């Protein structure tokens, strides 16, 4: 394995791509460390740490933002939005493509249509950036709205100037990160957008290691609070979870495809036997990305419903119940939170497949290419067969995704493992890390095999995520 990694630097083109990727990723990390002008980020970080200590558990929206922004939340950096507005715009455009015929026609136009869709996505990204940056600046100007009453975070005297400056800085930084992601995809190795997200997540790994050392061995005057045997068991459990995640990411259901013999240029072609791979985890991390905010945002609103404890009335009782329910929704260790989170993940798993997997179009393409599924009539019968098969595959994949998604919540809520540690044992973090790592290794392996070097595996080869 070490010799294989050494061989990657013997190929000039691959070496150049790796160095370009590392350089651009360094710039992305630098952007996530530059504080927003006019913000007392030291005071903000101290208050956020105080909230975490009082809460006693992580996994809320604040921790979610901090992990996926690579720690930019603690410093209120200009790169706080990172690549996420572009990802949000891409998801919105992708979903609208399945609904709006005009966008669907652009997809069928080929490269020109995809170029227009990419342009629409970038325009939508600008709008999302402006909206989110303006909303964040408003929240910083009113700390009570984010649970920090009586705290002064903004040091500038003019609220309008601060809002305009914050919106411009964060929007520009996010668009610059989007451009860097494109450059990584074109000139580097791997998918730029996915790599930036993975690096943001793994940048929190040193914090998780320090917390683990402090928990099991003591650190900086803090005595150990748990037995090191628990750490050994956690490492073994984490290894098993990673293996399961790799199987979930790489798993496919092979549908046999036969093609009939037909004449081509005076010769014959066809009678080929191949298969159509239906990915077990067809949805990727999308259900978890959708489900998390969909619980946290309503929970934050319900938890802040005003209740007067001195007044005894039916209305006040209902408001108190709503406030309690919002608190249960927000708490990662609450059974209500876990049940709703699981239901949303399964719902979005099937919803994403329903909008993105077009069984009828696949059936028409097979029929046009004189191919068929053995034992199934071409046309509608094939579409119904593929649709039913994909439903069963999605049920298996969604269940595996549900287990992986709930593991950090269970470890954090029931075993009191710090969120920085628990987030690497499952959830979106682990799925993204495994998927991006496999995709990047696959591209590097293709360069090695073209130059007659050994790949990363002695037997077989790495399969891509798509």
- CATH 2.102.10.10 for domain 16-202, yes or no, is no
First-residue to last-residue Cα distance in the chain: 25
Strands laid side by side in the 273-279 sheet: 273-279, 252-259, 371-372
**Radius of gyration over every alpha carbon of the chain, rounded to an integer in angstroms:** 25
- The whole-number pLDDT of residue 131 equals 93
Is the pTM above the cut of 0.75? yes
| Number of helical (H) and strand (E) elements in the chain, helices listed first | 19, 5
Q: What average pLDDT does the segment 143-157 reach?
A: 76
Domain boundaries, the chain: 16-202
21-25, 127-131, 385-389, 427-431, range with the lowest pLDDT: 427-431
- DSSP string over 258-326: EE--EEETTEEE---EEEEEEETTTTTTHHHHHHHHHHHHHHHHHHT----TT---HHHHHHHHHHHHH
- The whole-number pLDDT of residue 172 equals 94
* Percent of the chain topping pLDDT 70: 87
Is residue 466 over pLDDT 50? no
How far apart are alpha carbons 239 and 217 in whole angstroms? Answer: 21
Q: What average pLDDT does the segment 400-423 reach?
A: 82
* Percent of the chain topping pLDDT 90: 15
Strand partners, 372: 258
How far apart are alpha carbons 276 and 365 in whole angstroms? Answer: 12
How far apart are alpha carbons 271 and 280 in whole angstroms? Answer: 28
- Write down the residue that tokens 């609208």 correspond to: 96
- The whole-number pLDDT of residue 323 equals 84
Q: What average pLDDT does the segment 227-242 reach?
A: 88
According to the 3-state scheme, what is the secondary structure of 372-431? Answer: ECCCCCCCHHHHHHHHHHHHHHHHHHHHHHHHHHHHHHHHHHHCCCCHHHHHHHCHHHHH
- Residue 444 in 3-state DSSP? helix
CA distances (Å), origin 228, targets 210, 214, 225: 14, 11, 9
For 266, left (φ over 0), alpha (ψ -120 to 50), or beta?
Answer: left
- The whole-number pLDDT of residue 465 equals 42
Closest of 62, 34, 50 to residue 136, by C-alpha: 62
């Amino acid at each position: 394995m070490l010799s294989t990694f050494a061989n990657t630097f013997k190929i000039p083109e691959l070496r150049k791509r790796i160095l370009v990727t590392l350089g651009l990723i360094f710039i992305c990390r630098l952007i996530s460390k530059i504080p927003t002008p006019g913000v007392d980020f030291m005071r903000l970080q101290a208050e956020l740490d105080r909230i975490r200590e009082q809460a006693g558990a992580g996994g809320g929206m604040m921790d979610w933002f901090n992990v996926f922004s690579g720690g930019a939340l603690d410093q209120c950096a200009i790169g706080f939005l990172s690549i996420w507005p572009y990802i949000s715009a891409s998801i919105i455009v992708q979903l609208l493509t399945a609904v709006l015929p005009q966008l669907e026609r652009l997809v069928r136009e080929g490269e020109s249509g995809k170029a227009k869709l990419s342009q629409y996505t970038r325009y939508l990204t600008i709008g999302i950036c402006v909206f989110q940056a303006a909303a964040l600046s408003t929240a910083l100007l009113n700390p009570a709205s984010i649970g920090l009453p009586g705290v002064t975070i903004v040091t500038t005297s003019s609220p309008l100037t601060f809002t305009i400056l914050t919106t411009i800085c964060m929007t520009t930084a996010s668009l610059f990160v989007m451009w860097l992601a494109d450059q990584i995809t074109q000139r580097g190795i791997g998918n730029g957008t996915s790599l930036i997200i993975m690096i943001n997540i793994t940048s929190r790994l040193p914090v998780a290691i320090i917390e683990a050392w402090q928990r099991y061995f003591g650190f900086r005057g803090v005595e150990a609070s748990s037995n090191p045997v628990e750490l050994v068991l956690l490492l073994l459990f984490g290894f098993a979870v990673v293996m399961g995640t790799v199987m979930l990411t790489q798993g496919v259901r092979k549908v046999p495809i036969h093609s009939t013999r037909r004449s081509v240029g005076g010769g014959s072609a066809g009678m080929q036997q191949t298969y159509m791979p239906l990915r077990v985890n067809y949805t990727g991390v999308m259900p978890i990305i959708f489900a998390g905010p969909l619980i946290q945002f309503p929970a934050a609103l319900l938890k802040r419903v005003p209740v007067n404890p001195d007044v005894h009335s039916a209305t006040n009782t209902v408001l108190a119940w709503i406030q309690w329910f919002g608190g249960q929704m927000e708490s990662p260790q609450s059974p209500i939170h876990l049940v709703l989170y699981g239901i949303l993940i399964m719902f979005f798993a099937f919803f994403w497949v329903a909008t993105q997997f077009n069984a009828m179009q696949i059936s028409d393409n097979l029929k046009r290419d004189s191919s068929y599924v053995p034992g199934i009539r071409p046309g509608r019968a094939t579409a119904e067969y593929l649709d039913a098969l994909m439903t069963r595959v999605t049920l298996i994949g969604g269940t595996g995704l549900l287990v992986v998604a709930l593991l950090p919540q269970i470890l954090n809520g029931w075993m009191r493992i710090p969120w920085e540690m628990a987030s690497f044992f499952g959830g979106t973090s682990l799925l993204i890390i495994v998927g991006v790592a496999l995709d990047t290794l696959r591209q590097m392996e293709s360069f090695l095999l073209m130059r007659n070097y050994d790949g990363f595996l002695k037997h077989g080869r790495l399969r891509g995520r798509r």
